[in-house]
A and B are shown apart, each in its own frame.
Chain A
Amino acid sequence: MTAHTSSLSSGVAAVSSAARVSVEAPCGRLSLRARGDLSALEGALGLALPRKVGGRAAAGELQALCLGPDEWMLHAPLAAVSGLVEACAGVYGALPHSLVDVSGREVSFQISGPRAAELLTLGCARDIDTIAVGEGRRTLFDGSTVILWRDAADSFRMDVWNSFASHLLHLLEVGVRELAAEAL
Chain B
Amino acid sequence: MLLIHCPYCSETLPEVEFTYAGEAHIVRPETPSAQSDADWEGFLFLRSNVRGPHYERWRHLHGCGRYFNAVRDTVSDKFLTTYKAGEPRPDLSTLTVTQK
Direct A–B contact present (CB less than 8 angstroms): yes
Interface residues of A in 99-154 (CB under 8 A from B): 125-126, 130, 137-140, 145
Residue tally, chain B, CB below 8 Å to A: 15
Residue tally, chain A, CB below 8 Å to B: 14
What residues of chain A lie closer than 8 Å to B16, measured between beta carbons? 125, 140
Chain B contact residues, majority secondary structure: loop
Cα distance, A140 to B65, chains bound together (Å) = 12
Given A138-B62, A139-B63, A145-B62, CB of A126 within 8 Å of CB of B8? no
- 21 A-B pairs within 8 Å (CB atoms) are namely A53-B8, A53-B9, A53-B10, A53-B63, A53-B64, A54-B9, A54-B11, A67-B64, A67-B65, A68-B8, A68-B64, A68-B66, A69-B8, A69-B66, A125-B17, A126-B14, A126-B17, A130-B11, A138-B64, A139-B17, A140-B17
Extra contacts besides A126-B14, A138-B63 (4): CB < 8 Å: A53-B10, A53-B63, A138-B64, A138-B65
